[in-house]
Structure formats: C-alpha cells, structure tokens
Amino acid sequence: MAVFSALTPVFVATLCVIIAYLLKSFNRSEEKRAPGGAGPPPAARPWADEDLQDNTEISPVEDDGELADSEDDVPQVPYVSMCYTPKVMLQRSRDFYVLMNARRSVRFFSPETVPREVIENIIRTAGTAPSGAHTEPWTFVVVEDPQVKHRIREIVEEEEEINYKQRMGEQWVNDLQRLRTNWVKEYLDVAPFLILIFKQTFGLHPSGKKKTHYYNEISVSISCGILLAALQNAGLVTVTTTPLNCGPQLRQLLHRPPNEKLLMLLPVGFPAPDATVPQLNRKPLDAIMVSM
C-alpha cells in the first residue's frame, strides 16, 4: 500500500510527458507504429515501456484529461485471490495443459450453428486481457450474416489471387491451375461465425484529443491468445489467419473507423465430421524453457 501510493507522482509525471510528447509528434509516431503497431518511435520507447510496465490497468489516468487529479481518483482495493492447495494447483495446471494441447488450427468447418451466448462469453473473456495503460485497444467484429461472410470471402480470395499472379512469377505458371484451389477459402462461407479482430492504433479523449495506444498490437495479440483459449475451452475450433492485405477493404466493408486496423480473422465453429489436420509435433519443454 505504502509502496503503491508512493508510485502516484510517477504515474502522473510519466503520463504528462508521454502525452506532451505525443501531442507534438503524433502524426509521425502514428505512421511509424502503423506497420508493426508496436508503440511510439524509439525516442519515446522508454516512456512507452514505463507506461506499459507500471500503468497497465490504470484506466482513469489515461481517460481523464486532468492527469494530476485523475490518479487520485483511482482508489486501491484489496486483491481477492483464488486459494488452491498445491495438489489442486498441480491438477488444474495439468488439466489446462491437456485441454490447450488438444487445440489445433482447423480449416474444415461444420455449418452447424453455435449458441450466440457462447460467442459473447468468449468475446467477454478476450476483453479481460491486460493492455498498455488499460487502453483496451480491441474491437471484435462478429459476423454471422451469410451475405457479409460471403463478401469477406470474395475480398480475401480476390486479394490472394492478385498476390499469386503478381508474385509467383513465371516459374510457377504451370502450378497456377492447381494454385487456384488455394484462392478458395470455403470456410469463410461455411463457418457459422467469423470473428475479425481489429487493433485500435489510437483512441480519443472525451475532449476529442487523440490518445495513443501503447503496444496496441502486443495487447490485442495477448487478448487473441486468451480468446483462442476460450474457444478451445468451449469446444469450438478456428484457424488463426492474418489477411493483412485485405485489411483496408475489410475495414471499410465492416464500417470500422480509420484508427482501427485488422489484426486477425478467425473463422469459428464446430469442426467438419471429416476434418483433418497435419500431423505435427510441438517442441518439448526443454526446447522452449530455460531454468536458472
């Protein structure tokens, strides 16, 4: 408690400088962030890092124009923790691993519908992710309308046909006939739901002033990880796709504002009865974990 309240002036000071800097150079930093969505330009990184490091989930500071006062408006409350016995913790960690390890990227869907409330709970769950300065820079567009799904499919397939024809080069001319099959993304019609995840590269203060969203791409990707876990937990499947070339067209189709950029497109539903996946292995623990 003492330590935390001692941090107060830092939040205020840090955020003042961040916002002062960004009001000056927003356009430039916005451009630089766009490709990777990875925060302000190098000069400001220490602030961005500090911000994400210590102000995660301190919303009012960012939302309120009057920083000096707003921090005082964030009361501290006791953290209520789960208390499991070591035995229960171990069992829960094993069970969750088994559940998540059964997840695969599935490309063959059943047209069978999914209870809408399940989808809503999954989006709610994705919305619990941490984000830089609690900006919650995500928008989940859930598409169920067959016409809209089909238009999305047309945009994605069209864009990919262009990619192939312009980039494959003559060496692949003989494959073009067969390649055509890959332009076909049948699952975009078949899956009962398409979830398009947009990152908000910046937000707006009530005053209308732009509010930077630090590390919006990392924050939204973390949220996607929690969303994938929620889908798996509910017995649904998806395939993680990033049709970035289609971003602008899909953003317009879905009437999203210019500050939002498409990060991922997830077809969501039940697997087709005859769905297959490539047989692959994941790296063993000792290949991904180092202990010290």
Report 36-55 residues binding a second copy (CB under 8 A).
36-38, 42, 45-47, 49-50, 52-54
Please name the residues in contact with 291: beta carbons below 8 A apart, sequence gap of 6 or more: none
Per CB under 8 A, which of residues 248..267 are in contact with a second copy? 254, 256, 263
The minimum distance between CB 209 and a second copy, in angstroms, equals 19
Q: Is 35 among the residues that bind a second copy (CB under 8 A)?
A: yes
Q: Is 6 among the residues that bind a second copy (CB under 8 A)?
A: yes
Please count the residues of this chain forming the interface with a second copy, following the rule CB under 8 A. Answer: 140
Please name the residues in contact with 121: beta carbons below 8 A apart, sequence gap of 6 or more: 230, 234
Q: Near a second copy by CB under 8 A, which window of 9-17, 22-30, 203-211? A: 9-17
Please name the residues in contact with 253: beta carbons below 8 A apart, sequence gap of 6 or more: 148, 151, 152, 155
Binding mask 59-78 for a second copy (x = CB under 8 A): xx-------------xxxxx
Q: Is 206 among the residues that bind a second copy (CB under 8 A)?
A: no
Q: Near a second copy by CB under 8 A, which window of 5-13, 23-31, 203-211? A: 5-13
Tell me the Ramachandran region of residue 39: left when phi exceeds 0, alpha when psi lies from -120 to 50, beta otherwise: left
Give the Cα separation of 178 and 176 in Å (integer).
5
Q: Is 178 among the residues that bind a second copy (CB under 8 A)?
A: yes
Q: Is 93 among the residues that bind a second copy (CB under 8 A)?
A: yes
CB-wise, 49 or 210, nearer to a second copy? 49
Q: Is 25 among the residues that bind a second copy (CB under 8 A)?
A: no
Beta bridge partners, 139, equal: 198
Per CB under 8 A, which of residues 101..130 are in contact with a second copy? 101-108, 114-115, 117-118, 120-130
Q: Is 230 among the residues that bind a second copy (CB under 8 A)?
A: yes
Cβ atoms of 53 and 23 within 8 Å: the answer is no
DSSP 65: S
Cβ atoms of 232 and 102 within 8 Å: the answer is yes
Q: Is 210 among the residues that bind a second copy (CB under 8 A)?
A: no
Neighbours of 138 (CB within 10 A): 25
